Amino acid sequence: MRQDVQRRPRTHHKKHTKMGGNHNRAQGPSYLVESFTLCSQDYVPQRRGLGRRPDPTFSRDRASSPSRQNSPQEKLRTLCRSFGSKVGDLELGTIGSYLDRYVKAVNLALERVYSDPARAKRLGEELSNYRGHEHTLLRGDRDLSYQHNEAFRQLVFERLHRNVLEQAARTVHSDHTRRRLVEAALSLLNTSAADQVRLLKNRYIPADLIRRVRDSCSEAKNNGTGYHYALGALRQVRKALDEYVLTSLAQPLGSRAGQRRRVSDYLRTDSPERDRVTSLIADRVCHWHAEGYPFTVPQLRKWSLDYSASTENAQGQGYWFTLDSERENEVLLHVKLPAGVIGTHNECSPYGSQTLTFRFLDWLPRAAADDRARAKAADQEGQTARATQLRFRAVKLEDQHHQLMNTILLQHTAHTLSRLRQRKGSNPEEVTRLEAEMKRLKSSRRSAPPRLLLRGHRVTLQIPFVSPDRKTLPEVLGEKEYIAHAGVDRGVRVPVTLSVQEAEGYMDEMLRVEYLLQKRERLRKHASVLRSEVDRRRNNWEKKRPGLSHPAFLLKKERHQDAVWQKVCRLDREVSRLVASRTVWFCEEHSVKTVYFEDLRNYHAPGGHRGLSWSLSSNLWGMIIDTVRYMRESLGHSPYSVWTVNPAWTSQTCHVCGQRGLRVRDGGSRIEKKGGEYFYCPHCDSHLHSDVNAARNMIHAQESSAIPGRTCPTLSNQQ
C-alpha cells in the first residue's frame, strides 16, 4: 500500500463558554465528517434497506433478450446487478483520470517549490505564521501561478488550481516542521554521545529526549502535537542510523524489527562491536549535522481531491449539487472535468459537456426519523439515557441535512442571481429578493467544501458538517454540571473497562463486544493463512516464470485476500465506534468532565505471556481514543477533555490504600496467580476485578501527556 503524505489539518481558533460548573463547551467550527457512497447516474438501488423493493419485472431471461440489450440503462442495470458495482467502468476510468491529473499538478507544484531549498525554507517559515487559506501565499509566485504556466493549465482548470496550491502549501508546512525537528534532533545528538547510545540501544525513545528536541525547535509548540512531531523526527533519525550501521557492517537490512534488535545488541556493554558501532554513529551524526540531513522531496500519492480552497457559492468551484426531482432524498453531484478528460452533457449541470455526474442517497432524514421512533419507544420502556442518546443523534442528523440543503440552495441562488445581473432588463424586485436570500443563506451555518476519495471500485464523497450549536445541545441533553472524572483501562478479557469517580463512590462498567471480536479474530487468522499461501504461490511463479503476469488462480486468491482484509477493516471501525459510543454516553450520563485513557503506544507484551502479543497486535486502542474524542466534541465538550496517562503500576497498585497487591484467580481467592483476573490487596483486604482496579487508578495517575493533536495547559507543563 502506498504511503500518504502527512498533512497538517486545518486549525480553528475556538472560544469556550461555560454551561454550568467548570465544564466548557466548544463554540468553534468543529466538523463532523459524514460519508456518502457515490453511484452512477442511472444506477437504481435494489436493496430493501433503502426503502425500495426489487423490480418485479426484471428477469435474467428478459434482460438477455436482444430488444432489452439495446437499452444503455438496461445494460448498466444488468452490469450492476451481476457484479455488484455501483459505479460503471466508464465513470471509474474518468474519475481516475481526473484524480491522476490533480495528483500530478500537486506534485508539480511541490517539485517547483523544492527545486530551490532556500525558497522552500522561506515558504515554510511564512506558512508557519500565516492564518487563513494558504494557497494565497503560493499563487503569488510566478512559477506556481496559473496564468504564467502552461503545464498547470493543461492539467487542471483555474478554480481547481486553488485546491492544488492549498494541498501543496499544507504539505510544505508539514514538511518544514518535520525538517526543523530533525535538525534540532541532530544538533542535540551531536553534543552528547550518551544520548546517541540511548536513542539506539533502548527499546523506547526516552521521553526526556523527545521533550528536549521539542523545546529546542521553535516550530514545534509545547503541546501534544509538538511532542508527537518530535517523536516522529527521532524515529526517522533512528531508522536512518540503524540502516547506516547495518550497511557499514555488511549486514542485510531485513525487517524493521530485526534492524532494531541487531543494532541494540551491538550496543550492549559485552558486545565486541560496541566501540566500532558507537564510532560509526558519532561520525554519521556529525556528518549530517555539518552537511545536512538527506531529506527527500515530499510527494502526494493519495487518490483523493480536497476542495478545501473552493468557495461554496460559485459554480466554477468544481462541484455542483442538484436535487433529483424524480427520486426522493437523492442528490446528483456534478464534477467539472478539466480539458482533455472526456465527459458527458447533463442538463442540470452548469459545466456543459465537461461533466461527470454521480448520484448519492441523502440518508440523513431517514436515519433521523428512525432515531426519533426509537427514542419514543425507549421513553415508553423507561430507558431515559437511551432515549436521550437517540434524540441527540436525530437532532444532529437533522441539522446536517439542513446544512446540506442550505449549501445546495446557496449554490443555485448565487447562480440565478449572477445570471439575472448579467441580463439586460431583469426585474429589479427579483434581484433584490435574491440578494436578501443570499444574505440569509450566508449568515446561516453551512457545510464545508467536500472531499472525493477513490478506493478500488468505490467512490466516496465526504462532507464536513458543523456540529450542533450551543443552543441546540442544552435542549436535548439538559443543563448539567460536569465535575466527575473517568478512567478507562484496556483489558485483555474485555475491550474497555470504565470507572467514574463521583462524590458518593465509583461507578464501573465493563464494555463487552465478544461476538464482533471473535468474528474479527477468525477473519484475521484466515487472512494470515491466505497471505502465506499467496506469498508462496507468487514466489514459486516468479521463480519459474520470471517476467510473466500472474495466472488467474493467483489473481483470484489475491482478490480473496483483499476482500477478507476489507472485512477486517470494517469490523475495526464497527468495534471502535460501538465501544466509543457506549463509553461517551456512559460518561455523559454521569456528568464526566475529563476522561483518562492509558497510554499504550510504546507497550509491548513481556516474554512468557502466551497470546498477549497477538491480542495487542489487534489492539484498536488508538482508534477507540480518536473516536471518543470525536464524539465528545460533537456533544460540545472541550477538545482538552480526553487525555492519555502513563499506566505504570496501575494494575498492581490498590486504588484504596496505594499498596502493591496480588493477582488472584477469582473474587474469593487470596493465593497469587500470575495473570489472574482479579486483584487482592493483603493490606486493606480489597477484592475486585483487576481491570476495574486499573481503571480507578487511571483517574489518579500523576504523569500525563496529551493525546495526539490535543493539549491542556495545566498538564502539558509536566512534559
The mean predicted confidence, pLDDT, of the chain is 82
First-to-final CA distance of the chain: 35
Helix segments in 381-456, DSSP class H: 384-422, 428-443
Kindly report, residue by residue over 549-563, the tens digit of the pLDDT.
889 999 999 989 989
Are 119 and 153 found together in one domain? yes
- Cα distance between residue 108 and residue 100, in whole Å: 12
Q: Classify residue 388: in a domain, yes or no.
A: yes
Are 442 and 489 found together in one domain? no
Domain count, the chain: 3
Q: Classify residue 634: in a domain, yes or no.
A: yes
Eight-state DSSP code of residue 49: G
Q: pLDDT at position 707, please?
A: 39
Are 179 and 284 found together in one domain? yes
The mean-pLDDT minimum among 10-19, 139-148, 512-521 falls in 10-19
Q: Classify residue 395: in a domain, yes or no.
A: yes
Q: pLDDT at position 28, please?
A: 44
Q: pLDDT at position 686, please?
A: 87
Paired strand residues for 466: 31
Q: 553 in the Ramachandran plot: left (φ > 0), alpha (ψ -120 to 50) or beta?
A: alpha
380 — pLDDT class (breaks 50, 70, 90): very high
- Cα distance between residue 482 and residue 22, in whole Å: 7
Q: Classify residue 77: in a domain, yes or no.
A: no
- Cα distance between residue 642 and residue 599, in whole Å: 12
CB 357 within 8 A of CB 346: yes
Kindly report, residue by residue over 137-176, the tens digit of the pLDDT.
898 888 999 998 999 999 999 989 999 999 999 999 999 9
pTM, two decimal places: 0.79
Are 510 and 459 found together in one domain? no
Are 407 and 287 found together in one domain? no
Question: Average pLDDT of 660-683?
Answer: 85
Helices 364-380/384-422 angle, 10° precision: 160
Kindly report, residue by residue over 329-359, the tens digit of the pLDDT.
899 999 999 988 888 888 888 888 899 999 9
Q: Classify residue 49: in a domain, yes or no.
A: no
- Cα distance between residue 496 and residue 583, in whole Å: 8
Are 513 and 462 found together in one domain? no
Are 223 and 367 found together in one domain? no
The CATH number for 579's domain is 3.30.420
Q: In what order do the strands lie in the sheet with 678-681?
A: 662-664, 678-681, 686-689
What are the Cα distances from residue 641, in Å, to 37, 64, 515?
Answer: 33, 60, 31
- Cα distance between residue 168 and residue 300, in whole Å: 9
pLDDT more than 90, % of the chain: 40
Q: Classify residue 664: in a domain, yes or no.
A: no
Last residue of a domain, one of 291, 324, 359: 291
Beta-carbon contacts of 684 under 8 Å, excluding residues fewer than 6 positions away, are 654, 656, 657, 659
Helices 158-190/224-248 angle, 10° precision: 70
Mark 129-142 as b/e (b = at least 16 C-beta within 10 Å): eeeeebbebbbeee
The strand pair at 642-645 and 592-598 is best described as parallel
Kindly report, residue by residue over 596-648, the tens digit of the pLDDT.
998 776 565 555 555 555 565 556 788 888 899 888 888 888 878 888 887 88
Write out the DSSP string of 586-603.
HHHHTTEEEEEEE--TT-
Q: pLDDT at position 81, please?
A: 44
C-alpha torsion sign, points 312, 315, 320, 321: positive
Question: Average pLDDT of 507-516?
Answer: 87
pLDDT value at 102 more than 90: yes
Last residue of a domain, one of 436, 466, 496: 466
Q: 333 in the Ramachandran plot: left (φ > 0), alpha (ψ -120 to 50) or beta?
A: beta
**Numbers of helices and strands, H then E, in the chain:** 23, 19
CB 46 within 8 A of CB 55: yes
Q: Classify residue 136: in a domain, yes or no.
A: yes
CB 441 within 8 A of CB 409: yes
Q: What cell was used for 464?
A: 464536513
Q: Which of 630, 638, 644 is nearest to 573 (CA)?
A: 630
Are 131 and 182 found together in one domain? yes
Sole residue written with cell 556528518: 287
CB 698 within 8 A of CB 489: yes
Q: pLDDT at position 712, please?
A: 37
Are 457 and 493 found together in one domain? no
Contacts 24+ apart (CB under 8 A), 657-666: 657/681, 657/683, 657/684, 657/686, 659/683, 659/684, 661/686, 661/693, 663/690
- Cα distance between residue 274 and residue 317, in whole Å: 61
Are 618 and 495 found together in one domain? yes
The mean-pLDDT minimum among 13-27, 494-508, 580-594 falls in 13-27
Q: pLDDT at position 371, please?
A: 94
Are 340 and 269 found together in one domain? no
Range of the domain at 184: 115-291
Are 281 and 136 found together in one domain? yes
- Cα distance between residue 310 and residue 318, in whole Å: 8
CB 511 within 8 A of CB 579: yes
Q: Classify residue 87: in a domain, yes or no.
A: no
